[in-house]
Chains A and B, each alone.
Chain A
Amino acid sequence: MRYERYHIPIETVPTTAPPVPKFIITRASNCVNCGKCEKACIFGVHKRKEGDPREMADPLSHLCKNCFRCISDCPQRALTMSLGQDYRALGHGIWTPLRVSTIWGEAETGKIPVLGAGYRGMFAGPDFDGVWTDMSEIVRPTRDGIHGRETISTSVDIGRKPLFLAFDTEGALTTELAPVVELSVPMMLDATRLEAAGPDVLMGFALAAKGLDTFLLVPRDRITKELMEAAPSQIVPVLSEGTDVKSLEVDPRTRMVELCVGASWKNWAKAFAKRFPDKVLSLRVQASKGVEETVLEMLDAEVPVAHLEYDEDGREQGRGETRHAKDSLRAVHRAMTAKGVRDEITVIASGGVAAAEHVPKTIVCGADAVSLESALMVALSCRHCSTCRPSSCPASIGAAGPDWVRGRVMNMVGAWRDQMLEMLGAMGIREVRRLRGEVGRAIFYDDIQKEFLSILSGGGEHG
């Protein structure tokens, strides 16, 4: 087989939704149509009217880039800039307008967002905003940056890995090897909680999963024949709790099956392993308080994959005190490493992934891979409205065609993977498998702020 470097093809896939301008430029009635603003704006916001060049056309606010040049140059002081109200209303919860619009850009171009003028945001923040990843300066060996000669691998293995291999006296392998699937990116597409994804959108996701060499998780009752045929080895049927394992039928090309679980799953898992020894089983649990115990139980029962489902905002589900995934996953990872069995189970995390950096941050906290949910919809121009109504969707998500969906999703995942490579390159880590649980290569706001404050209160050290 010829070696080919994994690569996500990107192409520009413009949105069909109306633009949501970040800045609104208004021209007051005292404008004298002198045209100075047209000259001033290098982004083309100000143009003369097509039919009547004596007058200025309405400003194309969505092109405005906040430079204030036209405002300084207008002799009449007729121009005003204001913050776009629709823009400011984008998203809710962890989905800030900036995150929504960033994904739109990534899904359109497939490129890493690059801007000048340094950082413009908050010092730190809750959850993932309180995590920085490390970088390696001069004194660490063997690393070669992202533009270097070596590649950085983003492949992950999904399944149960033996901690060691056993051989008989003849030297033949006696360890029974469980099925393991290698995915080229640590990001799966997951439509399980995306009720607004219609058949065409699902089809687009399936095509994207194929192009990306990853899984698409779909509830079994939404898997049509066409969908299955489009990407047979990418589709992971998600079974609802209570599915009968004895009568279960699985397409032979399926590589992984996921079961949503509640209280009892041990016998189910055993029966599944017996009936489908060549398929990986993933158990999807709502991550809640004490989730680390559940994962340990799964480990004991030789379940290959635990899929921990956090809520929309990346927090544990259920009442009372809930942890964010960053803390919850660290606890899970710690519980397993304490027993020396971390590699026996694969941990997938979903929920709360709303930006490129959330993927490596989820992994550094202890997940092997993440599943992308709402982000996929946002890639399709969804605004993540707090009241989502397909009938009045401003982005007409329902009307999206499969190829367009595929392009947008692949672009976003491509841009996210490239950004992950930037972070891995900066850390001097050559493959994403090595990132998992590497909390020593991350900086946590809670810890460093505490250290900082204690230095401050320790008083002056005039050296």
Chain B
Amino acid sequence: MAKRPSPYTDAYPEVALAPAERLQFMNRYSVRRADTCISCGMCESLCPYGVHKRVEGHAKILPPDDRRCIGPSCEVNYFFCVANCPTKSLSVRESDNYASMGDARWPVEMIMATWRQAETGKPIPLDDPGNVGRSGGGFDKLYFKLPEAKGRFDPLKIKTAIQLNRRGSGERIEIPIPVYGGGMSFGSISVHTMVARAKAAKMWNTFICTGEGGYPDALIPYQDHVITQIATGLFGVKEQTIQRSRILEFKYAQGAKPGLGGHLLGDKNTPEVARMREAVPYTSLFSPFPFHSVYSVEDHKKHLDWAVAINPKALLSVKVSTPNDVEMVSVGSYYAGAHIVHLDGGYGGTGAAPEIAKKNIAMPIEYAIPKVHRFLINEGIRDQVTLIASGGLRTAMDVAKAIALGADGAVIGTADLVALGCVRCANCESGRGCPRGIATTDPELQAITDSGWGASRIYNMYSSWRLQWCELLHRLGMTDISELRGRFDLLSHGDNPAREVGK
């Protein structure tokens, strides 16, 4: 294998703007012009943001472009259109569109902030409303005790890289940002989405994971950055796909449906998907829970040994969810040979899952991380394990909080999709799949997402994230993200009353 450049001293690729016309629709405020308007043009001459426009030669003024409007707080300005309209035809208020998007975990501010970062690669302030959700607990109530900002810093002097192999032997793999992409299977997302993620992973010299739907040929050019997942259904798992990967992930359970196995609805199992999974098209595919060959730590070790026999060089990751005894499971995984223990909490996930499983089964990731971290310390093996957290980590700040709670790094899924224009409507599994062409195998719909554009957006998002981590570390007086790990003392638990949102 060719020598890889050290990820942390090298400059990162430039961010390239990746806008999208179709993601420019959201208006924070809505500006209404009543029928009493006489098209005098006063508002056009006043508004410096260009909300009001008249096309040359048209008698009537255009409907207001309220995406540019700065809202009712404009009233302090001399140019406030509402106050100046001679016929009192204008009104400005919060927009209904804005109120209709998002949910408690991903409020509209967070979706829009992610889009902005994906478009520009520019960081958002650490305390941006887009960095915290409204779910009233967990990450949404944890804050860093931050000293005042002090001076400028050079991001290239701050290390955000983490080591994925902390055991004594085997390939050392360092990734320059403490995140890699979670498994999303071919079939649940389109091949364009997969390739976009793979390209971005290559640009960042990190990884994505195949999920359990097999390894499409389109990913082969990125094989150094693709983790092969071995899940309970073993769909599409072959010797070649195991041999191709530098990291193998054993998926025991996934947080969004802990203990339930995977499920691909018949509609999405198109002939192409079925070929990849070596299954019959248009049948529903279940991957069972658990591995029917694994009922103990010893079985589990046998299982890992089997993979090692096929690919002795690969690092092994074990993905588990968060039951009461999550710490025992983690230790068991380590002793069976895992390099990476990957905890997947219940509040994340991208694919289809029964609603009942998401909220009610197994504990949120926020609780599991410190539990496992402390247990591994007491066992004396904390520094031999790479502890990765996922399941409801949405932003750069969530990742930082997870690290402060004791994780080494994180796995990201949903945020990648949001960067591609996901609006969190949750229709990924209904009928033809995602109406926005992200989580779908429908040929017409998946054409909406271009993989090159998508790769830039995901790359940009992580660029912004990295700069936010750098700022955070700088403000905390650190130069390496590994210093942040397990620093509970830097977190405070805020009692902001939970705001219930509309859905």
Contacts and interface: CB of A to CB of B under 8 A. Distances in A.
> Do these two chains really belong together in a complex?
yes
A73 B297 CA distance: 53
B137 A137 contact: no
A116 interface: yes
Given A114-B353, A117-B350, A135 B361 contact: yes
A140 B377 CA distance: 24
Interface stretch (A258-266, A367-375, A451-459): A451-459
A456 B324 contact: no
Contact of B362 (A69, A83, A132, A453): A132
Nearest to A427: B259
Contact of A68 (B99, B101, B294, B352): B101
A129 B295 CA distance: 31
Interface in B319-357: 320-321, 323-326, 328-329, 332-333, 346-357
Nearest to B21: A72
A3 interface: no
A77 B295 CA distance: 57
B424 interface: yes
B449 interface: no
Contacts of A458: 488
Contacts of B370: 452, 455-456
B119 to A, nearest CB: 15
Contact of B100 (A66, A73, A129, A136): A66
A426 B137 contact: no
B258 A426 contact: yes
Interface in A64-87: 65-69, 71-73, 76-78, 80-83
Contacts of A428: 259
A301 interface: no
Given A67-B427, A123-B364, A356 B356 contact: yes
A72 B346 contact: no
B289 interface: yes
Nearest to B100: A81
B258 A135 contact: yes
Contacts of B87: none
Nearest to A144: B292
B324 A134 contact: yes
Interface of A: 22-23, 28, 30, 41-43, 65-69, 71-73, 76-78, 80-83, 88, 98, 102, 112-124, 129, 131-148, 356-357, 361, 419, 422-423, 425-428, 440-441, 443, 448-449, 451-453, 455-463
Contact of B429 (A114, A132, A448): A114
A357 B258 contact: no
On chain B, which size bracket covers the interface?
35 or more
B281 interface: no
Contacts of B100: 23, 66, 81-83
Q: Which 4 A-B pairs have the closest CB atoms?
A: A426-B259, A123-B137, A116-B428, A82-B96
Contact of A116 (B260, B261, B351, B498): B351
Q: Give the residue among B97, B253, B290, B351 with the most A Cβ atoms within 10 A.
A: B290
B78 interface: no
A136 B259 contact: yes
B159 interface: no
Given A138-B320, A146-B260, A115 B429 contact: yes
B355 A102 contact: yes
B462 to A, nearest CB: 20
A453 B65 CA distance: 48
Contacts of B24: 72
Contacts of B483: 462
With most chain B CB atoms within 10 A of its CB, the pick from A146, A426, A443, A462 is A426
Interface stretch (B103-111, B209-217, B222-230, B307-315): B103-111
Contacts of B101: 66, 68
A283 to B, nearest CB: 31
